[in-house]
A and B are shown apart, each in its own frame.
Chain A
Amino acid sequence: MTLSRRHFVMGSSALALAAPATIARAQSDNIVFASILDLSGGLDIYGAPMAETTRMAIEDINAAGGLLGREVELKMYDAQSTIQFYTQFATQAAAGDRADTVHAGITSASREAIRPTLARFKTLYFYNTQYEGGVCDYNNFCTGSTPAQTVAKIVPHAMNKWGKKVYIVAADYNYGQITAQWMQRFVAENGGETLDVEFFPLDVTNFGPTINKIQTAKPDMVISALVGGAHVSFYRQYAAAGMLSEIPIASTTFGVGNEQKLISAEEGNGIMASYGYFEGIDTPANKDFLSRLEAKLGADRPVINELAIRSYEGAMLWAAAVREAGTTDRDPVIEALRSGLSYEGPSGAVTIDGQTNHCSMNVYIGELADQEWSIVDSFENQPPADTQLVCDLNQNPNQSTFLFENGLAAAGIE
C-alpha cells in the first residue's frame, strides 16, 4: 500500500478526533494507574522486574473486585532510560490519561524530572525505589529504603565482623555522592575510620588503578555504592586480583539490578548487602507471592529485589488508601495514606510515615553465596530517620522540595 499525503492527513486527524473520546471513556469507567519505568536501554535491568510486579499488583487488585466497584486500568510507559521521556510521559499520564496515580522513576534524576510536573497537575505520585533520602513533598510518597534504614544497619554489622577501617567506592552522580556522605557519617558514628572515598563515572570499566589504591590503603573492608552495568566490572576485577578473600565488600546497591547473576559464584561469595527485601524472607505472605509469580512467569522469572517488591507494595498501599478514602480523589487518598496506613506485604509491614511521606519498613542484611542471598540479620519497623531530620510535612504540608540536592551539609546535617 502506498501512503499518500492526503490519506496520511485524514488518518491522523481521525486519530486525533478519536483520542479524546477514548480518554473520556477511560475516565468514566476505569480507575487509571500509570507506570513509567525504564523497560529498555541501560536501566532495563532495574525496570523489567519492576514492571512485572506492577502488572501483578494491578491483576491482584482487579481479581479482588477492583477498587470501589471499578476496574483499575494500567497504563504502562517505557521511558527508555532517557530523562526527557519521563517528563513527556508524566505530562501525558497526568493531563492526557488523567491518571489517578502515577508510579514512576528509577534513578533520582528521573524522579526529580517528573516530581514538579506531577505536583503541578496535582497527580498523586509514588516513587518505589531505594534512594538517598531527602524528598519532602506532600504529593510524593517514597516507599523505598533510604540510607538511615540500610546504610545505618549494614555499617555497624560489617564493622563488627570485619574491622573499623573503611574504603568507599561510589557512582559519580547524586545518589552515589549523597549515599557516600551517609556512609562516612555512619562509619564515624560507629567509631570507624574512612580511609578514602572514590567516585566513578557510570561508564568506567577499568578499575585497576583503584584496586592498587585499595591495596595500598589496606582497609578492613570496602563499601560500594556503584551503579549500573559498567560498574559490574569492579567486582569481577576485584575478585580476579584475589582481593575478595582478603578485603570483603559490603554494598547498598549490589543486587538491585540482580548483579549477583552477572558475576560468577566465586566472584560474589561473601558480598554483604542491606535492603528492605530479599527473596529468602520466611513468611507465608512472601512464599505465596513468589509461588504466584512463578506460576505467572515460569521458572525463569526475574529474581525479586527491593525495587521489584516495593513496586508491588507501593501499588497495594495506594489501593488500600483508595479503599479507606472511598474515593480516588487526590486529597482524601493522601490523607488516608498519611494517617499511618500500613500494608502487610511480602517484605513485612510497610507503614507510611506521615511526617515525611516515606515508609517505616523491615530492613534485612543479606550475604551472597552461590549467586543467592541468605538473610543474616533483620530489623523490624525501621523509620526513615534521615529524611525525618529535615522534613516535617505535618507542620508544613505545602512543600515540594528535594532537600539533599546539594549534599548533606547544605541540608544542615553534619
Chain B
Amino acid sequence: MDLFVAVTFQLVYGIANLALISLGLAIIFGMMRVINLAHGEFLMLGGYTVVVATNAGVNIWVAMLILAPLVVGVIGVIVERVIIRWLYGRMVDTLLATWGLSLLLIGLVTSIFGASTATTISPPLGIIRIGDYSASGYELFLIGVTLVLFLAVFATLKLTKLGLVARGTMQNPEMSSALGVSTTKIYMITFGLGAAVTGLAGGLLAPVTGVLPTIGATYIAKAFITVISGGSAILAGTAAGSILLGGINGIFSFLTGPTLGEVALLVAAIILLRLMPRGITGRFFRKSL
C-alpha cells in the first residue's frame, strides 16, 4: 500500500514535470505556430536567473516565482521584437531562427558565467513520509504549482479580454486587425507570456536539476513531443499529452528501467501520431482550450 502511494505520487510528479516544461511551448508553438527551438534555453535562463539571484542573496521564493518569469518574459519580448515578428506564418524559418537563437543563448551564458556556476540552493520544504517511503515536499509543491499555472492560463485565455483578443488574433489575424485590434502588440504579449511561463518552469526546476548552459537540450525533445501529441488545444492537449506520455514513461521506468521508460515514451508518441496525426485533441475534446 505504501509502495502504491509512493509510486503513484512519483507518477503524478512525472506527469506534472512534463506538463510544466511543455506549457510555455504550447503557448508559443501550439497557439502561435512558432517552432521555438530555443525553448530549452528559455528554461535554462529561468534556472540561471534563480541560481544567480540566490547567489546574490535574493530569497529563493522571490527568485523562483517572480524574477525567473519576469527576466525570461522580458527576454521573450525582446526576442519577439527583434527576430520572431518578421517570421510569422513562416514556420520553417522560425525553426532555423530559433535554433540559431538557442546556440546564441548557450554561448552568451557560457561566456558570461563560464561552463558551470556554483549554487547554494537546495529544494525548500521538507520531506513527506509515506510509511517506509519518503518523497520530497518540494515535488508536491511543484505538482500544485503546475495545476495553478494551468488554471491561471485557462482563466487568462477564457475570462479576460486579453485572452479573447489573443485567441481571436491567432485564429484570424486579418479579421482581428479589421476589428481594430493591434495584432503586433497581441503577438508580442502572447510570446512574452509564453516565455514567462517557460522561465517560471525553469526557475521552479532549478533546485531539483543541474543548472548548466547546455541543459536546455535535455528538455526540448520531450516538450515538443508532448505538445505535438497533445494537439491543437493548448491546455487540454498539453495536459492529455503529459498524462499519457508521462504516465507511460513513469510506469515503464518503474517496472523495467529508465532506458525502456524513455523508449516506451517515444514508441507511445509514434503510435499515437500514427493513429491521430493531429494529436489527442485533434480527435477528442476538440472544443476545449
Partners in one complex: yes
Q: Check A12 for interface membership: any CB of B closer than 8 A.
A: no
CB pair B122–A258 under 8 Å, yes or no, is no
Distance between A244 CB and nearest chain B CB, rounded to angstroms? 11
Distance between B7 CB and nearest chain A CB, rounded to angstroms? 5
Select A264's contact among B107, B121, B261, beta carbons within 8 Å: B121
> Considering the chains assembled together, what is the distance between the CA atoms of A41 and B116 in angstroms?
11
Residues of A contacting B211 in the complex (Cβ-Cβ under 8 angstroms): 262
> Considering the chains assembled together, what is the distance between the CA atoms of A216 and B254 in angstroms?
11
Interface residues of B in 157-188 (CB under 8 A from A): none
> Considering the chains assembled together, what is the distance between the CA atoms of A373 and B162 in angstroms?
54
> Considering the chains assembled together, what is the distance between the CA atoms of A134 and B53 in angstroms?
45
Interface residues of B in 183-198 (CB under 8 A from A): none
With A40-B110, A208-B13, A208-B250: A229-B118 Cβ-Cβ less than 8 Å? no
* A202-239 interface code vs B (CB 8 A; 1 in, 0 out): 11111111111101100000000000011111001101
CB pair A206–B14 under 8 Å, yes or no, is yes
> Considering the chains assembled together, what is the distance between the CA atoms of A210 and B254 in angstroms?
7
Q: Check A42 for interface membership: any CB of B closer than 8 A.
A: yes
CB pair B135–A241 under 8 Å, yes or no, is yes
CB pair A209–B254 under 8 Å, yes or no, is yes
* A265-276 interface code vs B (CB 8 A; 1 in, 0 out): 111000000000
Q: Check B151 for interface membership: any CB of A closer than 8 A.
A: no
- Choose the segment among B68-76, B214-222, B234-242, B274-282 that binds chain A (4+ C-beta atoms closer than 8 Å): B214-222
Q: Check A199 for interface membership: any CB of B closer than 8 A.
A: yes
CB pair B115–A44 under 8 Å, yes or no, is yes
Residues of A contacting B135 in the complex (Cβ-Cβ under 8 angstroms): 208, 211, 241
> Considering the chains assembled together, what is the distance between the CA atoms of A273 and B261 in angstroms?
29
CB pair B116–A210 under 8 Å, yes or no, is no
**What is the size, in residues, of chain A's interface with B at 8 Å between Cβ atoms?**
50
With A209-B7, A264-B122: A215-B210 Cβ-Cβ less than 8 Å? no
CB pair A263–B127 under 8 Å, yes or no, is no
Q: Check A412 for interface membership: any CB of B closer than 8 A.
A: no
Q: Check B149 for interface membership: any CB of A closer than 8 A.
A: no
> Considering the chains assembled together, what is the distance between the CA atoms of A399 and B164 in angstroms?
71
Number of A-B contacts (CB under 8 A): 140
> Considering the chains assembled together, what is the distance between the CA atoms of A254 and B98 in angstroms?
33
Residues of A contacting B212 in the complex (Cβ-Cβ under 8 angstroms): 42, 45, 229, 232, 262
With A40-B110, A45-B116: A205-B134 Cβ-Cβ less than 8 Å? no
CB pair B209–A236 under 8 Å, yes or no, is yes
* B1-19 interface code vs A (CB 8 A; 1 in, 0 out): 0010011001001100100
Select A42's contact among B3, B136, B214, beta carbons within 8 Å: B214
With A48-B114, A242-B127, A264-B121: A230-B215 Cβ-Cβ less than 8 Å? yes
CB pair A263–B122 under 8 Å, yes or no, is yes
Select A240's contact among B3, B6, B120, B138, beta carbons within 8 Å: B138
CB pair A258–B258 under 8 Å, yes or no, is no
CB pair B17–A206 under 8 Å, yes or no, is yes
How extensive is the interface on chain B, given as a class? Answer: 35 or more
CB pair B210–A233 under 8 Å, yes or no, is yes
Q: Check A201 for interface membership: any CB of B closer than 8 A.
A: yes
Residues of A contacting B262 in the complex (Cβ-Cβ under 8 angstroms): 201, 204
Q: Check B257 for interface membership: any CB of A closer than 8 A.
A: yes
CB pair B136–A241 under 8 Å, yes or no, is yes
Distance between A206 CB and nearest chain B CB, rounded to angstroms? 5
CB pair A200–B259 under 8 Å, yes or no, is yes
CB pair A215–B120 under 8 Å, yes or no, is no
CB pair A243–B134 under 8 Å, yes or no, is yes
Q: Check A75 for interface membership: any CB of B closer than 8 A.
A: no
With both beta carbons as reference points, the residue of chain A lying nearest to B9 in the complex is identified as: A208
Residues of B contacting A240 in the complex (Cβ-Cβ under 8 angstroms): 122-123, 127, 136, 138-139, 207-208
Residues of B contacting A239 in the complex (Cβ-Cβ under 8 angstroms): 122-123
* A175-210 interface code vs B (CB 8 A; 1 in, 0 out): 000000000000000000000001111111111111
Interface residues of A in 354-407 (CB under 8 A from B): 371
Q: Check A346 for interface membership: any CB of B closer than 8 A.
A: no
> Considering the chains assembled together, what is the distance between the CA atoms of A266 and B122 in angstroms?
7
Q: Check B61 for interface membership: any CB of A closer than 8 A.
A: no
Q: Check A257 for interface membership: any CB of B closer than 8 A.
A: yes
CB pair B215–A229 under 8 Å, yes or no, is yes
Select A41's contact among B3, B123, B136, B214, beta carbons within 8 Å: B214
B residues at A contact (CB < 8 Å): 3, 6-7, 10, 13-14, 17, 107, 110, 114-116, 118-123, 126-127, 132-136, 138-139, 207-212, 214-215, 217-219, 221, 250, 253-254, 257-259, 261-262
Closest 6 A/B residue pairs (Cβ):
A232-B210, A240-B136, A208-B10, A242-B127, A261-B118, A264-B122
A residues at B contact (CB < 8 Å): 40-42, 44-45, 47-48, 81, 172, 198-213, 215-216, 229-233, 236-237, 239-243, 257-259, 261-267, 371
A209-B261, A241-B127, A241-B134 given; 11 more Cβ-contact pairs under 8 Å: A42-B217, A44-B214, A199-B257, A199-B258, A208-B14, A213-B254, A241-B135, A242-B136, A261-B116, A264-B121, A371-B118
Cross-chain pairs A/B with CB under 8 angstroms, 12 sampled: A40-B110, A41-B214, A42-B217, A200-B259, A203-B217, A215-B133, A216-B3, A229-B212, A229-B214, A232-B209, A237-B208, A261-B116
